[in-house]
Amino acid sequence: MLKQQGDGPACREEVPVWRVPGMRPLLASTALGFAGLSLLMPVAPLWALEGGADELGAGLVNTVLMLFTVIAQLLVGRILQRLGWQRSLALGSCLLGLPALGHLATSQAGAVMALAAVRGLGFGILTVCGATGVAALVEPARRGRAVGAYGLAIAAPQCLLIPVAPWLAERVGFWLVFTCAAVPLLAIPLAPRVARALHDSGDVSTAPAEARDTSRLRRVLIGPIAALLVITAAGGAILTFTPRLLSDPVAVYLALLAFTATAALSRWGFGHVADRRGAAPAIAPLLFASAAGLAVIGAGTAGGSGAAGAVLVVAGMLVVGVAYGGLQNLTLVQAFAAAGERARSSVSVAWNVGFDAGTGLGAFAAGAVVTMSSYAVAYAVLAAATALVGACWAGARWRSRGAASRAAPRTL
């Protein structure tokens, strides 16, 4: 028989990660938060365009969102110490959900950006709490699968809602999207259950941080965070501008579905790969695959609005989606493994900052390049940056293996 919850940490090894105490309410809270975010990620920039903004202004909406997400993520440690898990999670849900309704009042670009700033604060709190909570609830040996489950809770709402949100806004009305985007408020009643489970697991994230070797931490995290930055920059550009990339609403839906569905499956599937073989070996290949996919998307946009161009865009989205989902899982698992258990909270903050900074940077950079040139050039720049980081990662792995082989004792 399975041990009961009170029997200690060993009981968690005997049940699937989905059934670890606290995981279900934590994953449900995550899914509700990302549902609200997913509805507005492609639609809030469209709403700013309705209010008279240009492409750069539209890109700035999600850039502001991610800027304030990063600010909140850097403050989550203090927020947890002051408010505790329950009130911190409830605060994040309120800040993410309530401003969605504010879009009903105005489409003026400044107001849309202000609402994005408030949503970013809530999103920042929820993302760091979610990643830290998953790492606290599940032991390191099964962390890849736990991160995969967490990734699926993130990716499933994106898969279901991002492709359909622009269609709903344009065919039914923006009001429907804005009303539904308040769904993170439904996560508030789940906060006490998550907090109770984290307390029972012995989590100490709300305690003052222990002294750490910050130089070593920066050194071991630079590789995973760099990989995360470039892949999320690609994602930020895709999620912000795909509704403007293709003229056919069906093609837009298929492109976004290809991207989000493959990302969802990859986030779950690569969790098992990370547990069995480690996270590091697959990172460079996925970066190179993403660079190829981005180049194909750029070629599709350069080919005009015909069927051939749409096919190339959808095909590129499929490839980038695999890398986008897989790298989100692998970079987080690799960061936890490289930094060690004592740095768990710092890793969670650094990874989430990298994720959202990359997303915001991608939206801003793509918007700026498109304003000055074209979508084809924007995707070419993203492809080049991704390939460069992939080459750096592959080179570092090659040097590490060479050093290990030279250090190994030789036998006659």
pLDDT tens figures, 95-105: 999 999 999 99
Mean pLDDT of 187-192: 93
Closest CA to 70 of 384, 407, 361: 361
Amino acid symbol at 92: G
Q: What average pLDDT does this structure show over 33-39? A: 93
Q: How far apart are CA 60 and CA 67, in angstroms?
A: 10
Dist CA 408 CA 378 (whole Å): 46
In a domain, 7, yes or no: no
Q: Is residue 45 part of a domain?
A: yes
C-alpha dist (Å) from residue 404 to 28, 395, 397, 401: 43, 14, 11, 5
Residue 122 included in any domain: yes
The pLDDT score that the predictor gives to residue 198 is 79
Q: How many residues does the chain have?
A: 412
Separation CA 363–CA 404 (nearest Å): 40
* Domain presence at residue 154: yes
Residue ranges making up the domain that contains 83? 16-403
Q: If you search the block for the tokens 């995550």, which residue do you land on? A: 30
- b (16+ CB within 10 A) / e for 24-37: bbbbbbbbbbbbbb
pLDDT at 409 over 70: no
Is a pLDDT exceeding 50 seen at residue 391?
yes
User: Rounded CA gap, 1 and 7, in Å?
Assistant: 12
Residue 1 domain flag: no
Domain with 354 in it: what CATH number? 1.20.1250.20
The string of pLDDT tens digits covering residues 284-293 is: 899 999 999 9
Domain membership of residue 157 (yes or no) is yes
Q: Is 289 in contact with 321 (CB distance < 8 Å)? A: no
Query: How confident is the model over 310-329, as pLDDT tens digits?
Result: 889 999 999 999 999 899 88
CA dihedral 87, 121, 340, 290 (to 10 degrees): 140
- Give residue 283's Cα distance to chain centre: 16
The predicted pLDDT at position 17 comes to: 73
Does position 182 have pLDDT exceeding 90, yes or no? yes
82 located within any domain = yes
Q: Among residues 263, 265, 271, which one has the least CA distance to residue 333?
A: 271
Per-residue model confidence (pLDDT) at position 203: 55
* Spatial contact of 309 and 245, defined as CB atoms under 8 Å apart: no
- What is the arithmetic mean of pLDDT over 277-299? 88
pLDDT at 179: 95
Average pLDDT of every residue of the chain: 82
Q: What is the pLDDT of residue 401?
A: 62
Asked whether residue 4 is assigned to any structural domain, the reply reads no
- The count of domains in the chain is 1
